[in-house]
Amino acid sequence: MLRMNNLQDDGWDLSELKYIALGETELGRYRLLQGDILFNRTNSKELVGKCAVFNEPGDWVFASYLIRVRLESKLILPQFAADFLNAPAGRLQIDRLSRQIIGMTNINAEEIKEILLPVPPMPVQRELLAAMDKARETRRANLSQAGSLLEGVDSFLLGALGLTSPAKNDRKTFAARLSDLRESRRMSADYFHPERILALRGMAESASHLDCRRLTDVVEFVRVQIKEPEANYVGLAHVQSGTGELTASDEQAGGTCFVFKTGDVLFARLRPYLNKVYRAEQDGCCSPEFHVLRVRDSRVLQPDYLATILRSSLILAQTRHMMTGNTHPRLANDDVVNLVIPIPKPDVQDAIVREVRQRRIQARQKRADAEGQWTTAKLWFEEQLLGNPPKP
């Protein structure tokens, strides 16, 4: 089942999916066909009406807060229509048709029917779409390069520490000492998975050149609560997996939040395998599904290094085997405080932090270039159809 968070600015993120059992009648009613366009029907004003063409094979359906539109393909190409709807003239119509109800913006199927689409001859559609596809590919290439810069941090980090990440191990059967079960007071088999044990053993063997400590020994767990969200809210969906970069999200703030300060590190307790860790660049508030970590002594442990090591495969090898719960797997508080992290000497931390900051700057520039070029392409597309000069 496709949901709102699967629908991105230009395409689909299918990394996290939900599944549903349906009978043939219901499946026939809600099944998506290749070429269908899906609209986001409710959210904040800038996100309502966001749409993308669906082209995946197989049996797919859509959640109720999405609207399916099936076009007359002999008259208009689905991707051509979606590109127009995501261009300024399309967005202008969506904004005029949508309405606000109890703080949320909505648009329904009848209102979507009122949107006007330009329908040039098919050869013109294909020509304009070819140019947009080229711009789309350039954007994706820039975004991929930005991602590669940050994804390479892990191997650089472990090399600087003189450590290796435990090889991924999918074994279903392994042994654990009874004495270890007694000491940990844990009966969870996965807690003693070889991947986690080898990660801990590797750090223990590095004691000659690395100081390895429990998280609770070097950070304070801050739990300052406010009843309503304030400015600069960060939810789980706002933090990009594996990189710690903030990203646009449909997640709405509501209810109790934790306050954080600049330099604090937000460490997700829910679904730790998603690897969401953010070093705060300004004060704000966050979802209670984050632990707010504040370094006790920055001369011993730099916040930027802390965020980097918590995102590393070394820590992920621990946390992915410490989850509890099935529907919403999360880290228990007692497990988080006892996470073991390597803490190198200050000069090594300095070198790691400098490299990570430089990569982050380059990645952000790549993303900015990608979005700037894509905005220019959408304005050009609209100008070819409507003759409107691009706005400066």
Query: Which of the four pLDDT bands, split at 50, 70 and 90, describes residue 320?
Result: confident
- Report which of 182, 185, 194, 218 is spatially closest to residue 318, judged by C-alpha positions: 194
Predicted pLDDT of residue 391: 47
Are 250 and 5 in contact by the 8 Å Cβ rule? The answer is yes
- The residue among 81 and 15 whose pLDDT is bigger is 81
pLDDT per residue as tens digits for the range 26-56: 999 999 999 999 998 877 677 778 889 999 9
Backbone angles phi, psi at 55, to 5 degrees: -135, 15
- The residue among 335 and 157 whose pLDDT is bigger is 157
The contacts found for 155-160 with CB under 8 angstroms, 24 or more apart, are: 156/352, 156/355, 157/308, 157/309, 157/312, 157/352, 157/356, 158/312, 158/313, 158/314, 160/344, 160/348, 160/351, 160/352, 160/355
The C-alpha atoms of residue 277 and residue 290 are separated, in whole angstroms, by: 9
Query: Which of the four pLDDT bands, split at 50, 70 and 90, describes residue 360?
Result: very high
Q: Supply the mean pLDDT for the chain.
A: 88
Cβ-Cβ contacts under 8 Å for 346 (sequence gap 6 or more): 299, 300, 302
The mean per-residue pLDDT over the stretch 312-321 comes to 87
Backbone angles phi, psi at 191, to 5 degrees: -60, -25
Q: Could you tell me which CATH class the domain 164-205+211-343 is placed in?
A: alpha beta
Task: Look at 5-14, 287-296, 371-380 and tell me which has the smallest mean pLDDT.
Answer: 5-14
- Specify the amino acid at residue 120: P
Query: Which of the four pLDDT bands, split at 50, 70 and 90, describes residue 73?
Result: confident
Query: Which of the four pLDDT bands, split at 50, 70 and 90, describes residue 392?
Result: very low
Query: Which of the four pLDDT bands, split at 50, 70 and 90, describes residue 8?
Result: confident
Predicted pLDDT of residue 381: 94
pLDDT per residue as tens digits for the range 100-140: 776 678 888 898 999 999 999 999 999 999 999 999 999 99
Burial of 279 (C-beta count, 10 Å sphere; 0-12/13-18/19+): buried
The mean per-residue pLDDT over the stretch 209-213 comes to 86
- The residue among 204 and 318 whose pLDDT is bigger is 318
Q: In the structure encoding, which two tokens stand for residue 89, read together?
A: 């003239």
Query: Which of the four pLDDT bands, split at 50, 70 and 90, describes residue 383?
Result: very high
The mean per-residue pLDDT over the stretch 236-245 comes to 90
- Report which of 260, 359, 352, 358 is spatially closest to residue 304, judged by C-alpha positions: 352
| Cα Dmax for the chain | 77
pLDDT per residue as tens digits for the range 147-188: 899 999 999 999 999 988 777 767 778 787 888 778 777 767
Predicted pLDDT of residue 390: 44
Predicted pLDDT of residue 355: 96
Cβ-Cβ contacts under 8 Å for 384 (sequence gap 6 or more): 128
- Choices 3.90.220, 3.30.460, 1.10.10, 1.20.1260: CATH for 4-119: 3.90.220
Query: Which of the four pLDDT bands, split at 50, 70 and 90, describes residue 388?
Result: low
Q: In the structure encoding, which two tokens stand for residue 379, read together?
A: 């304005």
Q: For the chain, what percent of residues have pLDDT higher than 90?
A: 56
Predicted pLDDT of residue 252: 67
Question: The tokens 């990394």 sit on which residue?
Answer: 15
Task: Look at 217-221, 272-276, 352-356 and tell me which has the smallest mean pLDDT.
Answer: 272-276
pLDDT per residue as tens digits for the range 289-301: 999 999 999 999 9
Task: Look at 155-169, 218-232, 299-313 and tell me which has the smallest mean pLDDT.
Answer: 155-169
Highest mean pLDDT among 76-85, 108-117, 227-236: 76-85
Q: Beta-carbon neighbour count of residue 229 at 10 Å?
A: 19
Task: Look at 100-104, 299-303, 333-337, 362-366 and tell me which has the smallest mean pLDDT.
Answer: 100-104
